[in-house]
Chains A and B, each alone.
Chain A
């Protein structure tokens, strides 16, 4: 924790310094009301249905229109949203959430426990195919104790449930719609969020307006928010500089320097657990041999990677998915390139003559290919011949992802260590990309879930990290800082390390703001 806040102070932008300790959002003079904020995003908002959102722009819109039970603070701890408070049974296998009273959906109907239950039933139904299904933990069943109390029964103890319920896809929707068919939510939005949907053009512009019936009487300050889609990053940056937009949700490392220099623009940056890695299929040759994986890991010059892949806006990775942005990060000596050692390991593994492999990288985002190309060159001296093959994201998902023996992955930060481990590395992981299937590791992660004691958990996770660092199921050479930019007149926006939390309801427009709408 302390470690994180120090790092945040270093990269302090906006009100971040305070935010870490006190409640989310900066303390500032009473914010101005009204005005229209234009946010630019780099991808279309294809999915309006909050249970099915997949990418940041969709998360943003969902967050504007809907509320979840809890939401993540910048330190990755949960704070109340629709749920006022929560308690758990001593064994962590049953959680009770008490809902806010008098909350209404955009259509005026009250939001009660029934809606919460209906929502989670829908989420847990595989036919819905909601991403949340794998994220919210071992939820066995959800029942309404009364109008405003919901009880989650888990199949196994789980300490992180309140955090996980803040999941981007766990937004509460009306029971009526769930029973009538979720398809309706593809076109319209009926939520309890701070804003109401005005117009929806997936490829171009999404407009929302203040929801006067929002449960928080203070917020939102803005009357209107426009989410504009800019497929081309350069153009998006130019738009911000020209005052065409107020807030650029995410900035490519290559654009950052330019935006930093631009007048009237404030560049935002926060370290995060977002990383790019090289997945190796541990269940097949050649990567089933731990020495091969270690050898490859030893060829990587990690600080150089930070420059090459993240333009320096990042931190070197150490082959574990945790970095200082995570609560349970444990510092280990950073691996240094050691070609001689790598050669030796390869030889032991029986590849004295060198090893050839094809590294597949999806074309989105471009950093995947960048990592591949850099690795290719770094690994050469050690006798690796790596052919980088870029393919369309669609083809990648269909043919390589979760199947391929050797490909580049890219992940947002997860709220907890447990989440990221169980998403990618345990044998029962939702996306078991490396098929590492290490019993010891599974046990460590499993045990950690059921422990409340901070120190004990930290110990378990530390061990897990050491294990990964040694066995290298995947090479994690670099973590990205999250980058964004805003006009100076935008007040109260904080860049959240999770990358999927935005809190536009706290944003207001200062003096000199562009008049819009």
Chain B
């Protein structure tokens, strides 16, 4: 008997230009104790489906088909009835705990209110029950946690609270909307374990929405692949992974980075004089600025860098991994003169002790590409101006069209504004801008993390190609171990601002990591299962 059943369900949104189809005749069912992984790239309609099931649709939505929860259809229910169903019989876990929790209410209040509402507990009972739940989802000192405000808890803790309130009333079905995407690798792993545990214990029917195939392959029994509002493929995880029928599925699977499947061949000539040497570089985010203190906003205590030393050889790809706040980006910003730092950088024989020393030559040779193309491209500037700046600054003779061609974008894009480009295209423009000055070193700061798997694959492939052609060295910063293992020559692991380990890619497979944190990191993301292509 299926807990959740969606039959021939289609959803359209009314827009100025008529109806736009968001979901097209979806059929899926989840039985008790079963986990259905719903995979799709951004814009595929994952979230729309979630809203539809939660009955949280804008007035301009038009539906066909049926959704039924244990036999009854919430589609016909009144608002009051729906309110009674939500949280009671069908719960939801959201992507980002930092925005899905009310900043001005304690975690306890936000957990207890569900219990009061649905299980008609008194305030005191609810509080006690809440503490129990907190303990259940593995939070240390639940009593104290109940009294904390969201900003006083870590992302992981918050997500645990969200999960707790989702499970609070033992619903029959729970929707998980990318519950780990906003979290660190390690934390994510813990949350997944928690999920699996609770799932097994309560045998709730779960719909697990994610863009990450590898991840879904681990948590779900069944998987459904959503593409442009259509379910292209659905079935047992093994079946889908071993024998994908649709080529969209195949492409998705192919795009998933696999450590064993190296993208770069060979390694930079050893022995030769390194391109960059970072000598005991430290960055302090010590005092919160007077001003921000007055305005009351305390700047988040980001770990700086503590005496980081490393070197990059010409043409080498050095991967830097670590959880957010481990100081990866700080290092990148220091190297590009966006942070003041102590220690020194030796570049092309010159010793650079501070931002002052970063002259035009240095800036020309060291370029950076940022994580979010939307924010790294000025929305008010056309591609032409964006690309022309480095040329005018460093007087490269390259033509803008050539630059575009280099990143495989049509020359016609020169007159476009960033918002007229897709995410991938934007990132390509950013890359083109970085390469305009024919730099010796390009720092890639999480440049793929905001992109869909397939797009990410293409961008990575582009980078590799550029590296092969221009012999550019990369400082490749990412949190995706599998990806970095695919293309880095050496991997630097950062933790709490320190460089804890720097190992050669081969040693990783042979001798294996030495530092416990590195090990933890590796365990957190086992390589995705093989599939026959």
The answer to whether A and B touch directly, with their CB atoms under 8 angstroms apart, is: no
Residues of B at under 8 Å CB distance from A?
none
**Could you list which residues of chain A lie within 8 angstroms of chain B, going by C-beta atoms?**
none
